[in-house]
Amino acid sequence: MSEKILMKGNEAVAEAAIRAGCRLYFAYPITPQSELIEYMAKTLPKVNGTFLQAESEVAAINMVYGAAGTGKRVMTSSSSPGISLKMEGISYIAGANLPAVIINVQRGGPGLGDIQPAQGDYFQATKGGGHGDYRLIVIAPSSVQEFADSASLAFDLADKYLNPVMILSDGLLGQMMEPVEFKPRVSDEEIEKHSEMHYDWCMRPNEDGPNHHHHEINSLEIDPEVLETHVNKLAEKYKKIEENEIRYEAYNINENNEMVCCAFGTAARIVKSAIDTLNSEGHNIGLIRPITVWPFPTQAIADSIHDKVKNVMTFELNLGQMVEDVKLAVNGKVPVGFYGKVGGVVFTPEEIIEKIKENLGGK
């Protein structure tokens, strides 16, 4: 289907998830993503899917865990405070090697915060908001099209690695309307295949011997040596993901860059505007925009520091979270500066231009 539809981000990702074969969705309303749950409520029954508004975000993530344990594509969505509630459940999903998709439409925090867009959940998403040694694959879209496209990518990665995947969006992307081109809806046969690939471990109808199976969906291993083996296996999985699934955009990165910027999601759109203006005035500034914030494009950032780059500027809608990973990637080669906005306030291209100009030459 190559027609473009003007759609709100929250609704576009919901539509895309359904087209990717999601037929199970459990969630709780929270601003600014209520359009997502409402779209699912309206649309899932039309495709014989199951929509259920849970009694809390805690209940919702546990319903996701249960459904994921039966080998089916399942999703939940929430916003910052609700995502905090899901942390226990996410840790369990990761520990039990289950595929699942969790969408975070970030808002201002901490605590109840406000309902405006922010990027304050970067740490929570990439450094594990839940307990224990686990990693979420985290996709950070920067446009409504990318937000929609992240749905099928998230489900594919979740199925491939048996891992929860988070789509880290924000209130601006969730609420804004842009033209979106959707992939065609997957067929029922393809949906069956999505499930069949999990038959060797998922809960499903059984048979008498010799094909009788006993599948346990579990993250408990009371024997420390067994748990050690289990967690080390998780580590091998995460290593594979880091080797194979890094995604980023290199925007005007070349050997003559005087400065490299780093930003993700909504912040990156604004930084791009600023860079375009500055570059049209004769500057040469590039941007590395991580699309996966985990696995983080460490090498891409390191490689972008060509000889003429005097410094790196990171722009985020928080007090400085991704900048720590940028600093690790730059590894002392050049200074790394940061400018952020918090409280759900979004910076303007003019502010970014000013900040870049202040910091040109590595001041």
Binding site for another protein (CB under 8 A): 24, 26, 50, 52, 54-56, 58-60, 62-70, 72, 74, 88-89, 92, 96, 203-208, 212-220
Do 16 and 156 contact (CB within 8 A), yes or no?
no
Report d(CA 174, CA 20) in Å as an integer: 19
> Is the Cβ–Cβ distance between 194 and 159 less than 8 Å?
yes
Nearer to another protein, 75 or 140 (CB): 75
Structure tokens at 204: 């499903």
Q: What is the smallest separation between the CB atom of 39 and another protein, expressed in angstroms?
A: 19
CA 316/CA 104 separation, integer angstroms:
16
- Rounded to a whole number of angstroms, the minimum distance from the CB of residue 88 to another protein is 6
- Looking at the Cβ atoms of 96 and 162, the one nearer to another protein is 96
Q: CA–CA separation, 215 vs 103, rounded Å?
A: 28
Token pair 């087209």 in the structure block, residue: 19
Comparing CB distances to another protein, the nearer of 216 and 281 is: 216
Phi, psi of 5 (to 5 degrees): -115, 135
**CB-wise, 71 or 344, nearer to another protein?**
71
CB of 44 vs another protein, minimal distance in Å: 11
E strand map for 291-335: 292-294, 311-316
Minimum distance between the CB of residue 25 and another protein, rounded to whole angstroms?
10
Q: Nearest distance from residue 54's CB to another protein, in Å?
A: 7
Backbone dihedral angles phi then psi of residue 283, each to the nearest 5 degrees:
-80, 170
* Least distance to another protein, CB of residue 147, Å: 25
Task: Report phi then psi at 97, rounded to 5.
Answer: 55, 55
Cβ 50 to another protein shortest distance, Å? 5
Nearer Cβ to another protein, position 49 or 297? 49
Distance CA 34, CA 182 (A): 21
Cis peptide before 224 (omega within 30 of 0): no
d(CA 67, CA 65): 6
CB of 189 or CB of 207, closer to another protein: 207
State the residue for tokens 């199970």: 24
Residue with smaller CB distance to another protein, 96 or 241: 96
